[in-house]
């Protein structure tokens, strides 16, 4: 009998339930979960009243890795393969998918939102977009299959943002908020050849960054908006970098962070909104006109980009091990509370008990 932990109401203790996994239909697979990362999006559903598309009770969790243990018609080749499950699974057959815009597919399925999620022993999902994982290569770099569950969102979301923004050699990139997604954005942008400025308000998060990736770290508590921009401009001048066309990744998911990031716009700049908050901010949109700048949203990552993002991990250009911590799935209620209270410095990965 399979098990999953389900949300029954906002902030109500998650409940353990046993269930019979749905038999995979055509183009579907059943994945035995190796690990599922705890994302702040999960906390948004659980604590903040963000509405999930699936009725309660619902197992949350969309950062999933595991092994395919059953496969339906047309996808039998996936049987026994180790995989990462896309956090957002486009249908692949609609108009927007046919035009390469799968992140806005109206028929997309997101585990833990549209369908039952990964805080479970098993999950039945469409096979579309599964990313194969060579476990022998993982072992060689000291990672497990559970560890790379975070590739499904924490790594691929900033990867998509970096690709969409066109980051390349010689760019000055600013990442605001370097816990979780932001920390990977720093590494990915550096791997693409950019010089990266990292900003946060938590000294420990800044200290955890590899200096080979973050050329400059700034604690935002020591600056107002003007001073922060001036500090970065001084760094750019001192290092022969452009003082135009900065690429800014807003990963803090806070109103204050979003306001600060918008204030860093300069001529030709690109602001990428990666973090999420329910709070509203007040900005002067005319700055976009005056600076001939642009703002880009960022919802997940197309599955076709997952293999390239995973390859950065396999090649050691993006490090996961220092930023994750595996914990038993049975501790989910305690872990949710600890993450919500800011007591978890690393990304928690919940691992089901062995069958």
Give the pLDDT confidence of 320-337 residue by residue, as tens digits. 999 999 999 999 999 999
C-beta of residue 100 within 8 angstroms of C-beta of residue 64: no
Task: Kindly state the average pLDDT of the residues 56-66.
Answer: 98
What CATH fold (topology level) applies to the domain 156-297?
A: Rossmann fold (3.40.50)
Backbone angles phi, psi at 27, to 5 degrees: 70, 20
pLDDT at 355 over 90: no
What 3-state class would DSSP assign to 77?
Answer: helix
Instruction: Report pLDDT for 225.
Output: 85
Mean pLDDT over each residue of the chain, to the nearest integer: 95
Return the percentage of the chain with pLDDT > 90, whole number.
Answer: 92
**pLDDT tens per residue across span 207-237:** 999 999 999 999 999 898 899 999 999 999 9
Q: How confident is the model at residue 161 (pLDDT cuts 50, 70, 90)?
A: very high
pLDDT at 130 over 80: yes
Sequence-distant (6+) residues with CB within 8 A of 38 are 61, 63, 335, 336, 339, 344, 347, 348, 349, 350
Q: Which of 288, 300, 307 is nearest to 132 (CA)?
A: 307
Q: How confident is the model at residue 192 (pLDDT cuts 50, 70, 90)?
A: very high
CA distance 193 to 195: 7
User: Which tokens in the block code for residue 175?
Assistant: 């990442």
Instruction: Report pLDDT for 332.
Output: 98
Q: State the architecture of 2-153+301-351 in CATH terms.
A: Alpha-Beta Complex (3.90)
Task: Kindly state the average pLDDT of the residues 82-89.
Answer: 97
Task: Kindly state the average pLDDT of the residues 238-261.
Answer: 96
Q: How confident is the model at residue 286 (pLDDT cuts 50, 70, 90)?
A: very high
Parse the chain into domains and list their residue ranges. 2-153+301-351, 156-297
How much is the pTM? Answer: 0.94
What 3-state class would DSSP assign to 20?
Answer: coil
């Amino acid at each position: 009998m399979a098990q999953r932990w389900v949300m029954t109401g906002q902030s109500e203790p998650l409940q353990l339930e046993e269930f019979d996994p749905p038999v995979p239909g055509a183009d579907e697979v059943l994945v035995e979960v190796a690990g599922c990362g705890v994302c702040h999006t999960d906390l948004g559903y659980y604590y903040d009243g963000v509405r999930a598309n699936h009725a309660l009770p619902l197992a949350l969790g969309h950062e999933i890795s595991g092994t395919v243990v059953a496969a339906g018609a047309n996808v039998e080749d996936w049987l026994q393969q180790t995989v990462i499950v896309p956090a957002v699974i486009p249908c692949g057959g609609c108009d927007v998918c046919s035009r390469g815009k799968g992140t806005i597919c109206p028929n997309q399925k997101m585990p833990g939102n549209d369908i039952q999620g990964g805080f479970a022993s098993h999950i039945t999902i469409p096979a579309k977009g599964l990313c194969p994982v060579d476990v022998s290569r993982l072992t060689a770099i000291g990672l497990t299959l559970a560890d790379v569950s975070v590739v499904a969102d924490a790594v691929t979301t900033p990867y998509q943002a970096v690709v969409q923004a066109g980051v390349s050699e010689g760019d000055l990139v600013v990442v605001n908020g370097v816990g979780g997604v932001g920390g990977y954005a720093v590494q990915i942008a550096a791997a693409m050849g950019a010089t990266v400025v990292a900003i946060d308000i938590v000294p420990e998060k800044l200290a955890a960054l590899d200096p080979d990736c973050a050329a400059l770290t700034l604690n935002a508590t020591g600056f107002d908006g003007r001073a922060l921009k001036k500090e970065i401009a001084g760094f750019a001048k001192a290092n022969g970098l452009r003082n135009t066309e900065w690429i800014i990744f807003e990963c803090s998911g806070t109103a204050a962070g979003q306001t600060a990031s918008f204030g860093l716009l300069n001529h030709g700049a690109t602001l990428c909104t990666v973090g999420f908050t329910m709070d509203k901010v007040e900005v002067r949109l005319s700055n976009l006109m005056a600076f001939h700048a642009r703002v880009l949203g960022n919802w997940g990552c197309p599955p076709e980009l997952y293999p390239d993002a995973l390859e950065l991990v396999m090649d050691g250009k993006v490090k996961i091990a220092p930023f994750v911590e595996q914990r038993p799935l049975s501790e989910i209620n305690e872990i949710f509370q600890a993450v919500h209270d800011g007591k978890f410095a690393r990304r928690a990965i919940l691992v089901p008990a062995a069958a």
